[in-house]
């Protein structure tokens, strides 16, 4: 370094700033930060150190800077204090050594013929790729250079009681370095450092606590089962990844202890072009796991292009897909959908409609083999810049122009349980083929699509036509009220669709240009939870001489029915009919054609609780009789809570209580993670009790509005914040 800087850093205490856009060129002497001195890189500063290094005995503030180590052989990092680099790049030629304590927050790069020796001449120095809830350090693409020695790689786990965190959960993890055992790494050698590692339980050798059920397991594709690890003194590196139950760091030792944030770290040699990762064999038509072998985000489509015999689809574990069971679940991410997750609606990890094409550093996933099977292959071209917390939203929108049909299952506590996607497009085929994604079952609730006895999480079909039908398959639904969120996109003009509940014998018209919220009641009886209870039937409205549409809606205590007929001149009269549980239709109104209009409106006053099914009997002048489709509405004399608008469109909503007694009501606005975000109290009276509620700024998600009166009666409904 020049004499001016050398003089400055031998005076202490001292604070020295480099501002953004300042380029700093060092000499062979390098940068020496004395004890008590602060060297502040303010903004996106580029600092180049030529043939020298940084000796940090004080404090190095990286800001948004990038430090370049150029030239030939040199000790690049030394000193008594840890040096935190934002970005660091080793260029030129020769060996650049770490002989101190250093970390990188964002990106490390090796260019040209340079070699970075991470642990120094004695193999005892520490260089760490840091991970936090906002960013995880990554290794850039390596071409001719190399990284040697041991590197510590962290993977932040967002466990905790906070609104943006999740409770104790399974995590599907990868190991991007080779050298330590499970006990040395994730168990921190038996020590208890705050913020690192976790308690691992099981039966065998090296466990913190002996339990019958393991908290660390691997997948066996032959038996399609998870197998518990029996010895934690075996190498942690595993190309297939691990499923690990994380309760928090190693200070959380009991099953009911409060979860907290932790970092799972491994120390060892990184996978590079000179130490490439092994391929992963995938059996024909079988599921197989693999871990991201790089300390870097990778793009799945690049992995798929480099591999053989696997489908363009991968399956991730989402601990926020908790449903009623709070177990987590699988999200299917397929190339045919533009890598949009299947059950992303209102989950903070994989939001609806947001492509998630990446596998993060430290993340493992499932893939499925084609009919021939093959190998998952990796190369440096699979790497992508940047990072996110595993499961945190990626920016951007799908570029797909195909029609798509999203279905999400939400439990009565407002938590997303599962979901699926149908993609309609030319050439996709209606048979089971490579474009479809077989369902990977959750231990909790499941909702799949079923075709030819195959359960699917993504179904690819030719463009939708009239009389096409989608069949749903449900499993493990508990007796409660669930909400099905059905969201069609880019559906063809003139198409119509109805949601059919074969147990309740109801038919509900679906909006094809908006989000549909359908409540389904699962009763204790076995028949109400039958697997193939629900389906969607399409039609294109081309039925000459028949009515074109019928719909029904509630208005206060009445049911309003609207229908349209395109050929009223051939009709003698219309007879409106309704049926209750026994299925017997009864007439309740008669209408006659009107020359000036082909749309008819009528009302019906329900006399008892139950599901009312309506249809129109069309008696034509030639003596023939036709019937419309059926549409259903439920009626209850019990109180109901309704919210408008839903989904929320601003900072205000109106909540209406019908058939509820007068009195003081306490309301609470609760996120799907169980956290209360707003509350209030209001006296309500009259026939229709309406509250106008102002909401705080909310994260997207499914919320519960709970109203409790003085008698302790509770009324609940689900509300979506997009």
680-704 per-position pLDDT tens digit: 888 887 766 888 888 888 877 778 8
Residue 239 resides in a domain: yes
Residue 147 resides in a domain: no
Q: Mean per-residue pLDDT for 581-586?
A: 78
Domain total of the chain: 5
Q: Which long-range contacts (CB under 8 A, 24 or more apart) does 682-687 make?
A: 684/657, 684/660, 686/662, 687/556
Better-scored residue on pLDDT, 386 or 406: 406
Residue 567 has pLDDT above 80, yes or no: no
- Split at pLDDT 50, 70, 90, the class of 547 is very low
Residue 150 resides in a domain: no
Q: What angle do CA 384, 390, 396 make, to 5 degrees?
A: 60
Residue 393 has pLDDT above 60, yes or no: no
Q: Do residues 139 and 127 make contact, with C-beta atoms less than 8 angstroms apart? A: no
- What pLDDT score was predicted for residue 166? 82
Instruction: Mean pLDDT check: name the lowest of 344-348, 415-419, 449-453.
Output: 344-348
Residue 134 resides in a domain: no
Residue with tokens 């669930």: 482
Q: Mean per-residue pLDDT for 346-361?
A: 81
Same structural domain for residues 513 and 578?
no
Q: Mean per-residue pLDDT for 345-364?
A: 82
Same structural domain for residues 214 and 163?
yes
- What pLDDT score was predicted for residue 542? 45
- What pLDDT score was predicted for residue 16? 61
Q: Mean per-residue pLDDT for 541-557?
A: 58
Residue 388 resides in a domain: yes
Residue 252 has pLDDT above 70, yes or no: yes
pTM beyond cutoff 0.85: no
Of 454, 456, 416, 417, nearest in space to 336 by CA: 456
- Split at pLDDT 50, 70, 90, the class of 27 is very low
Bridging pattern class, strands 714-721 and 701-709 = antiparallel
Residue 246's Cβ-side half-sphere holds a number of Cα atoms within 13 Å equal to 29
- What pLDDT score was predicted for residue 686? 73
- What pLDDT score was predicted for residue 129? 98
- What pLDDT score was predicted for residue 420? 96
Same structural domain for residues 485 and 603?
no
Better-scored residue on pLDDT, 431 or 505: 431
Q: How far apart are CA 329 and CA 634, in angstroms?
A: 32
Q: Which long-range contacts (CB under 8 A, 24 or more apart) does 474-477 make?
A: 474/409, 474/445, 474/446, 474/447, 474/448, 474/529, 474/531, 474/533, 474/534, 475/441, 475/445, 475/446, 475/448, 475/531, 476/325, 476/442, 476/443, 476/444, 476/445, 476/446, 477/445, 477/522, 477/529
Range of the domain at 509: 280-539
- Split at pLDDT 50, 70, 90, the class of 5 is very low
Q: How far apart are CA 183 and CA 243, in angstroms?
A: 16
- What pLDDT score was predicted for residue 344? 67
Residue 380 has pLDDT above 80, yes or no: yes
- What pLDDT score was predicted for residue 549? 66
State which of 129, 145, 168 marks the end of a domain: 129
Better-scored residue on pLDDT, 166 or 172: 172
Q: How far apart are CA 701 and CA 719, in angstroms?
A: 9
- What pLDDT score was predicted for residue 6? 40
Residue 126 has pLDDT above 60, yes or no: yes
- What pLDDT score was predicted for residue 399? 37
Q: Mean per-residue pLDDT for 344-371?
A: 85
Better-scored residue on pLDDT, 530 or 589: 589
Q: Do residues 113 and 86 make contact, with C-beta atoms less than 8 angstroms apart? A: no
What is the residue-averaged pLDDT of the chain?
86
Give, for 69, the enclosing helix (H) or strand (E).
strand 66-70
Same structural domain for residues 705 and 678?
yes
Residue 293 resides in a domain: yes
How far are the Cα atoms of 3, 83, 133, 393, 472 from residue 136, in angstroms, in the given order? 37, 17, 8, 14, 39
Residue 308 has pLDDT above 50, yes or no: yes
Q: Mean per-residue pLDDT for 157-177?
A: 89
- What pLDDT score was predicted for residue 544? 37
Q: What angle do CA 363, 364, 369 make, to 5 degrees?
A: 145
Same structural domain for residues 311 and 453?
yes
- What pLDDT score was predicted for residue 302? 96
Give the CATH number of the domain where residue 560 resides.
Answer: 2.60.40.10
Residue 275 resides in a domain: no
Residue 403 has pLDDT above 50, yes or no: yes
Same structural domain for residues 604 and 648?
no
Residue 635 has pLDDT above 80, yes or no: no
- Assign 3-class secondary structure to 78-97: ECCCCEEEEEEEECCCCEEE
Residue 143 resides in a domain: no
Residues 180-239 have pLDDT tens digits of 999 999 999 999 999 999 999 999 999 999 999 999 999 999 888 999 999 999 999 999
Residue 528 has pLDDT above 90, yes or no: no
Backbone angles phi, psi at 188, to 5 degrees: 50, 35
Same structural domain for residues 685 and 627?
no
Same structural domain for residues 629 and 668?
no
Q: How far apart are CA 55 and CA 92, in angstroms?
A: 20
Percent of the chain with pLDDT strictly greater than 70: 88
Residue 717 has pLDDT above 70, yes or no: yes
State which of 616, 635, 654 marks the end of a domain: 635
Same structural domain for residues 294 and 332?
yes
Q: How far apart are CA 197 and CA 625, in angstroms?
A: 73
- What pLDDT score was predicted for residue 392? 37
Residue 377 has pLDDT above 70, yes or no: yes
Instruction: Mean pLDDT check: name the lowest of 41-45, 103-107, 268-272.
Output: 41-45
Same structural domain for residues 192 and 308?
no
Residue 104 has pLDDT above 80, yes or no: yes
Q: How far apart are CA 227 and CA 224, in angstroms?
A: 10
Q: Mean per-residue pLDDT for 645-668?
A: 82
Same structural domain for residues 552 and 433?
no
Residues 584-600 have pLDDT tens digits of 889 999 999 876 677 78
Better-scored residue on pLDDT, 344 or 602: 602
State which of 485, 516, 539 marks the end of a domain: 539
Instruction: Mean pLDDT check: name the lowest of 130-134, 245-249, 644-648.
Output: 644-648
Residue 12 has pLDDT above 90, yes or no: no
Same structural domain for residues 651 and 616?
no
């Amino acid at each position: 370094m020049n004499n001016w800087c050398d003089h400055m850093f031998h005076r202490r205490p001292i604070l020295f700033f480099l501002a953004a856009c300042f380029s700093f060129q060092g000499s062979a002497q390098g940068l020496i930060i004395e004890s008590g001195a602060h060297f502040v890189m303010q903004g996106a500063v580029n600092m180049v150190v030529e043939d020298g290094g940084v000796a940090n005995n004080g404090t190095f503030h990286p800001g948004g800077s990038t430090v370049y180590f150029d030239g030939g052989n040199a000790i690049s990092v030394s000193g008594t204090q840890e040096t935190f680099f934002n970005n660091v790049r080793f260029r030129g030629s020769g060996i650049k050594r770490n002989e101190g304590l250093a970390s990188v927050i964002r990106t490390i790069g090796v260019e040209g013929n340079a070699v970075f020796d991470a642990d120094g001449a004695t193999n005892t120095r520490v260089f760490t790729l840091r991970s936090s809830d906002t960013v995880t350090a990554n290794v850039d693409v390596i071409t001719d250079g190399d990284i040697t020695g041991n590197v510590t790689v962290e993977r932040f786990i967002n466990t905790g009681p906070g609104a943006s965190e999740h409770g104790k959960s399974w995590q599907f993890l990868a190991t991007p370095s080779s050298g330590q055992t499970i006990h040395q790494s994730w168990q921190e050698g038996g020590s208890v450092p705050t913020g690192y590692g976790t308690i691992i339980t099981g039966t065998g050798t090296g466990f913190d606590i002996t339990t019958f059920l393991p908290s660390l397991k691997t997948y066996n594709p032959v038996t399609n089962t998870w197998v518990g690890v029996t010895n934690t003194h075996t190498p942690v590196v595993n190309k297939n990844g691990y499923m690990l139950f994380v309760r928090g760091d190693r200070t959380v030792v009991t099953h009911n202890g409060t979860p907290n944030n932790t970092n799972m770290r491994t120390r060892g040699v990184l996978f590079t072009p000179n130490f490439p990762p092994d391929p992963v064999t995938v059996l024909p038509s079988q599921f197989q796991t693999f871990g991201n072998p790089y300390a870097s985000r990778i793009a799945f489509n690049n992995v798929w292009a480099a591999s053989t015999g696997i489908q363009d689809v991968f399956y991730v574990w989402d601990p926020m897909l908790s449903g009623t069971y709070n177990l987590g679940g699988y999200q299917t991410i397929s190339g045919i959908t533009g890598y949009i997750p299947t059950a992303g609606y209102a989950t903070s990890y994989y939001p609806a409609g947001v492509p998630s094409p990446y596998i993060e550093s430290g993340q493992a996933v499932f893939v499925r083999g084609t009919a021939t099977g093959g190998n998952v292959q990796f190369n440096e071209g699979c790497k992508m810049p940047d990072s996110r917390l595993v499961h945190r939203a990626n920016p951007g929108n799908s570029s797909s122009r195909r029609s798509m049909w999203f279905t999400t299952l939400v439990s009565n506590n407002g938590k997303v349980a599962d979901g699926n996607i149908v993609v309609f497009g030319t050439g996709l085929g209606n048979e089971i083929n490579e474009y479809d994604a077989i369902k990977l079952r959750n231990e909790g609730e499941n909702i799949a699509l079923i075709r030819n006895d195959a359960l699917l999480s993504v179904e690819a079909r030719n463009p939708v036509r009239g009389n096409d039908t989608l069949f749903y398959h449900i499993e493990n639904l508990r007796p409660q009220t669930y909400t099905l969120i059905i969201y069609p996109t880019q559906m063809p003009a003139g198409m119509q669709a109805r949601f059919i509940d074969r147990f309740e014998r109801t038919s509900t018209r679906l909006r094809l240009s908006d989000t549909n919220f359908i409540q389904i009641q699962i009763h204790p009886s076995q028949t109400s939870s039958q697997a193939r209870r629900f389906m969607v039937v399409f039609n294109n409205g081309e039925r000459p001489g028949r009515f074109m549409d019928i719909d029904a809606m509630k208005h206060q205590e009445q049911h309003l029915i609207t229908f349209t007929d395109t050929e009223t001149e051939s009709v003698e009269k219309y007879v409106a009919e309704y049926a209750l549980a026994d299925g017997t239709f009864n007439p309740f109104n008669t209408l006659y054609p009107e020359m000036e209009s082909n749309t008819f409106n009528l009302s019906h006053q329900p006399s008892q609780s139950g599901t009312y099914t309506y249809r129109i009997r069309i008696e034509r002048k030639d003596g023939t009789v036709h019937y419309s489709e059926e549409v259903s509405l439920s009626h209850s004399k019990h109180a109901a809570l309704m919210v408008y608008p839903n989904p929320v469109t601003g900072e205000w909503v109106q909540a209406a209580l019908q058939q509820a007694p007068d009195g003081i009501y306490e309301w609470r606005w609760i996120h799907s993670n169980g956290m209360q975000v707003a509350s209030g109290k209001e006296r309500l009276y009259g026939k229709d009790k309406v509250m106008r509620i102002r909401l705080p700024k909310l994260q997207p998600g499914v919320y519960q509005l709970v109203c409790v009166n003085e008698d302790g009666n509770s009324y609940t409904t689900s509300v979506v914040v997009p």
